[in-house]
Structure 1
Amino acid sequence: DSPNTEDIDTAASYARKTHCDVVAGFGGTDSLNAAKAVAVLAGNYLFCEDLFENPSIQPPVALVTIPAFPSFGFEVLPMFFLTDMRQDIQRVYSHRYMYPRATIVDPRISAQIDEETTAQVNTATLSIATEAVISKSTNSLVNTYALKSIDLIFKNLPAAYRDLQNITARGHLSYASVMTGMAFSVSRLSLSLALSLALSSRTRIPVHRAMGVFLPHVMEYNLTATPGKYVQMSKVMDEDVREITVIEAAIKAVEGVRKLEFDLDIPQRLSLFDISKTEFSRIAEIAIGFPFIENAPRPLNRDEFETILIAAY
């Protein structure tokens, strides 16, 4: 199971007693999230659930992250998500103090994961990269990182999926994840992540798996607000956008994502999971509370989140 606030409090108590001065997070996103939380709490006499109220904190102990596979930017992001045992939902905490002192990326480690996980975690990276491009908070540097990440994923994910030992392709996917994290730290936009965290709060569907489901539907929701940005994405996906309208060229980006997910056996419908539509209202209510939806190019409220959920079903 994913770590929760009680698990973190136990680990942080031990870190304080042993005067820990470095925390290393090795593994997937859950391990990295736990390491970030322990690093903060080791330097502050707080309970983990207190962090979600955004108290003043002292700098954490030094943090080193070592991702076992691409972690959709969380290997470098000053942010973590955990299950809050008090409210029984996923919650997010971010603070500028939480940037790692170092991140060690070795794509050879990721050769140990299976095809399904390879497809899911890198599709999650793609989700965040596509939204970084269209964020109201984007800039030329963020745009460059995000578009390059999309380019690397489209060029290397099929190869890594077919051949788990293709270290060159895995290296490019690792770089894409790091660049996506750098872009997300500024763009602060991911409806896919917000919906996935909310869905994970109500079901046992892992966050990285849900993000691939939501990706094409979130793209369709935002398309008419920033079609020019979608054309940029279509081009790095190697879609032919010559002699067609801007909207037609923008749609090519969504079609490119759908084709990639089809080739990777990524489900694109919530109806394939054990989930009832009666949960949608509560999922939307949770999603609207996350701190990375304000920069969406289209107005967003709980009803709009429900609309995306219905479209994804």
Structure 2
Amino acid sequence: MLDGLASRSSTYDVQSPDRIAYGFDATAELTAFAADADSALVVSDENIVGAGVTDPVVAALEDAGASVDFFTDVKPEPKLSMVEDAADVLRDGGHDVVVGVGGGSVLDTAKLSSALAEHDVPITDTLGMGNVPGAGRPLALVPTTAGTGSEVTHIGVFSDSEGVKRVVYDAALFADLAVVDPELTRSLPKPVAAATGLDALTHAVESYVSTLRTPYSDILAREAIRMIGSNLRGAVLQGGNNDEARYQMSLAATVAGQAFVNSGLGAVHALTYPLGSEYGVGHGRANAMLLPHVMEYNVPAETERFADVADLLGADAEGSTLDRAYASVDAVFELTEDVGIPTSIGHLGDLDEAELESFTDIAFEYSQHNIDRNPRDLDRDDVVQIYRNAL
């Protein structure tokens, strides 16, 4: 349903990395990417390298004749200082290309460190929208989870010295090559597969109802929702034994990433900010806990679209359009519970009214742009009430 967005007076831009290689063993495409490189820096983390997940990446780079070094000091919810450290290693080592291999934290670090290695500016000057001086070293991004979509976005999320999340948006952060190889998700732990898969669902749902959505993002968001509804349970509960589910989830995460980078997100991504900064909850898990509660708030503003979401998730919904719309909320609650993620925030601790007010302050201060793109207007009382409902 494009609901009148495609008018003669409307022109839309499509934002995307230069190239996407997708499929089992797609890592072989890195050989051509590094054909002219003498050396490559692989940005990753110790656990991924230790588990051997980066082995096919290294093999592909070495097949190109490039020597390979590693930067593995990336941690979840990466700090700006980690990006600076990676940029120093890249610059001092004279590496020709950068290859990020990991989850969203790793890929975001690879993006911004690539640019900082080329441009001698303070990292704080790059924060916000459109402040990166220019393109960095040739960059390939290889996700090892099926969720963040970071491989196809121009966005990086980092914590500053005070633990506050800061965002960088700039077209200079798009990868030259995104390599999506479902094989790299084979050994993904179930809790990570669940959280990242629900992160992808959040991207798709928020894209579909964003105030900045486009006909192009609609197509991508709808297909991502359908694929996640059909495959997330299999990818989590059957893991490495279900190649089809893993293949579909890897594709869905990338498609959802392309959807939201062309539409913007919404209130879920605003309200999860304090869960990460104050309680250290991972991004995907935080999104999963709040998604159905924000959906429930938004249903009256986009009833037909949430009815679509119910259908795409395979909900057995009958009745009025409004009934079907609320069935989408029930479907997300059920999916989240089935894959083992909490559907509330109450387990984080004794969250009293003062704490919920503090959460609200953080959401409005650091994520106003996501609140602005939400399909239903939100004031402070609305946000506090959503947090209450999520307890």
Question: Normalising by structure 2, what TM-score?
Answer: 0.76
Distance in 1 between residues matched to 2:203 and 2:223, nearest whole Å: 13
The correspondence for 2:255, drawn from 160, 174, 179, is 179
Partner residue in 2 for 1:138: 213
Measured in 2, the distance between the counterparts of 1:71 and 1:245 equals 32
Out of 274, 277, 282, the residue aligned to residue 201 of structure 1 is 277
1:304 corresponding residue in structure 2: 382
Rg (Cα) greater in structure: 2
Query: Mean alpha-carbon deviation: is it higher for 189-198 or for 120-129?
Result: 189-198
Letter in structure 2 aligned against 1:280: L
Give the AA of the match of 1:303: D
CA RMSD of aligned residues (A): 1.6
- Deviation for aligned residue 1:178: 0.5
Q: Is 2:314 the counterpart of 1:238?
A: yes
Structure 1 residue 53 displacement after superposition: 5.2
User: 1:274-300: CA deviations, max 9, x gaps?
Assistant: 353332222222222223332111112
Structure 2 counterparts to residues 74-153 of structure 1, below 5 A: 74-85=150-161, 87-153=162-228
* SS of 1:224 mapped into structure 2: helix
Equivalent residues of 2:128, 2:167 under 8 A apart: no
**Gapped regions of structure 2 (runs ≥ 5):** 1-74
Distance 1:189 1:161 in 2: 25
Gaps of 5+ in 1: none
Q: Give 1:125 shift.
A: 0.8
Cα pair 1:26 1:65 within 8 Å, conserved: yes
What is the SS of the residue equivalent to 1:33?
Answer: helix
Cα shift at 1:198: 2.4
Q: Describe the SS at the equivalent of 2:139.
A: strand
C-alpha displacement at 1:12, in angstroms?
1.1
Indicate conservation of the 8 Å contact 2:231/2:248, yes or no: yes
Change (3 A) 1:181 1:28: same
Q: Encode CA deviations 1:196-227: one digit per residue, 9 max, x unaligned.
A: 23211111211111111001001011110010
- Aligned pair count? 311
Distance 1:227 1:208 in 2: 25
Amino acid at match of 1:93: V
Is the contact made by 1:5 and 1:84 (CA closer than 8 Å) also made in structure 2?
A: yes
Distance in 1, Cα, partners of 2:201 & 2:247: 15
Task: Tell me if structure 1 keeps the 8 A contact 2:148–2:196.
Answer: yes
Is the 1:132–1:189 contact (alpha carbons within 8 Å) kept by the matching residues of 2?
yes
What CA distance in whole angstroms lies between the structure 1 residues aligned with 2:132 and 2:167?
A: 16
1:260 is matched with: 335
- Shift, 1:158, TM fit: 1.1
Deviation at 1:32, TM superposition (A): 0.8
Matched, 1:286 2:362: yes
* Equivalent residue number for residue 295 of structure 1: 373
Return closer, same or farther for 1:203/1:295 CA change in 2, 3 Å cut-off: same
Aligned partner (choices 99, 104, 120) of residue 24 of structure 1: 99
Helix, strand or coil at the partner of 1:293 = helix
- Separation in 2, partners of 1:182, 1:199: 25
Q: CA deviation at 1:261?
A: 1.2
Cα deviations across residues 50-102 of structure 1 (Å, max 9, x unaligned)? 211553612222221000111322121100101111x4211111111111111
Report the Cα distance in structure 2 between the residues aligned to 1:107 and 1:56, rounded to whole angstroms: 31
- Residue identity over aligned pairs, in percent, reads 26
**Structure-2 separation of matches of 1:10 and 1:211:** 29
Q: Corresponding residue for 2:323?
A: 248
TM-score (structure 1 length as normaliser): 0.94
In 1, Cα distance between equivalents of 2:295 and 2:134: 39
Please give the secondary structure, in 1, of the residue aligned with 2:159.
Answer: strand
SS, match of residue 100 in structure 2: strand
Query: Residue 189 of structure 1 contacts residue 294 of structure 1 at CA under 8 Å; is this kept in 2?
Result: no
Structure 2: which amino acid aligns with 1:260? L
* 3-12 or 283-292, which deviates more: 283-292
Alpha carbons of 1:275 and 1:45: their partners in 2 closer, same or farther (altered >3 Å)?
Answer: farther
1:167 and 2:227 matched: no
Distance in 2 between residues matched to 1:213 and 1:96, nearest whole Å: 30
Which residue pairs with 1:63 in the alignment? 139
Q: Greater CA deviation, 299-308 or 39-48?
A: 299-308
CA distance in 1 between partners of 2:350 and 2:121 (Å): 36
The Cα shift of 1:248 comes to 0.6
